[in-house]
Amino acid sequence: MLARLASLSDDHFNAHPDEVNWGHVGTLEHYASLLKRISDSAFSEGEHAE
């Protein structure tokens, strides 16, 4: 999964850099929030801190 996400990132998440719009920004913010939840859970940080 991480390799696929890294590859997608290398490809600008399927968006041409000159054509990025606020919809793309919102999608990436959503992806980042999900990754943060996973990371917080895995490392007992954020709301998962003990």
Is residue 50's pLDDT more than 90? no
The answer to whether residue 38 sits within a structural domain is: yes
Residue 48 in domain? no
Give a yes or no: residue 27 inside a domain: yes
| The total number of structural domains that make up the chain | 1
In this structure, is residue 49 part of a structural domain?
A: no
50: in domain: no
Q: CA dist 38 to 6, 11, 23, Å?
A: 16, 23, 23
Range of the domain at 17: 1-43
The predicted structure's pLDDT at residue 29: 96
pTM: 0.78
Residue 17: pLDDT band (50, 70, 90) is confident
Q: Let me know the angle formed at the C-alpha of 4 by 31 and 48, rounded to the nearest 5 degrees.
A: 45
pLDDT over 90 at 30, yes or no: yes
Tell me, yes or no, whether 17 lies in a domain.
yes
**3 within domain boundaries:** yes
> Residue 39's pLDDT is what?
95
